[in-house]
Amino acid sequence: MSRRPWLVTGGAGFIGANFTLYARQVLGQPVVVVDKLTYAGNLSSLDPLRGDPDFTFVQGDIGDAALLADLLRTHRPAAMVHFAAESHVDRSLLGPRDFIDTNIVGTFTLLEAARQYQQTLPPEGHAVFRFLHVSTDEVYGSLAPDAAAFHEHTPYAPNSPYSASKAASDHLVRAWHHSYGLPVLTTNCSNNYGPLQFPEKLIPLMLCKALAGEALPVYGDGQNVRDWLYVLDHCKGIARVLSQGQLGETYCIGGCNEQTNLSVVETLCQLLDARRPRADGLSYRQQLQFVADRPGHDRRYAIDASRMRQELGWQPEETFSSGLAKTVDWYLANETWLQRVQSGAYRQWLQTQYGDQ
Ligand code: NAD
- pLDDT tens-place string over residues 83-135: 999 999 988 998 999 999 999 999 999 999 999 999 999 876 556 799 999 99
**pTM, rounded to two decimals:** 0.94
Pocket flag, ligand 1, residue 113 (CB < 6 Å)? no
Specify the pLDDT at position 226. 92
For the chain, 357 residues long, the average pLDDT of each consecutive 10-residue run is: 87 98 98 95 94 97 98 97 95 94 98 96 76 97 92 96 98 98 97 93 92 93 94 98 98 95 97 97 96 87 96 97 97 89 59 49
Compute the distance from residue 273 Cα to the ligand 1 centre, in Å. Answer: 31
d(C-alpha 74, C-alpha 9), whole Å = 16
SS3 of residue 216 by DSSP: strand
Specify the pLDDT at position 357. 38
Contact of 34 with 66, CB cutoff 8 Å: no
d(C-alpha 210, C-alpha 198), whole Å = 16
Specify the pLDDT at position 1. 41
Compute the distance from residue 279 Cα to the ligand 1 centre, in Å. Answer: 37
Pocket flag, ligand 1, residue 192 (CB < 6 Å)? yes
Task: Sketch out the chain's domains with CATH numbers.
Answer: 6-191+231-255+301-317+343-354 (3.40.50.720)
Pocket flag, ligand 1, residue 13 (CB < 6 Å)? yes
Compute the distance from residue 103 Cα to the ligand 1 centre, in Å. Answer: 9
Q: Supply the residues annotated as catalytic.
A: 137-138, 162
CB proximity list for 344: less than 8 A, separation 6 or greater? none
Specify the pLDDT at position 152. 98
Specify the pLDDT at position 34. 98
Pocket flag, ligand 1, residue 108 (CB < 6 Å)? no
- Which residue is closest in CA terms to ligand 1's atom 44? 136
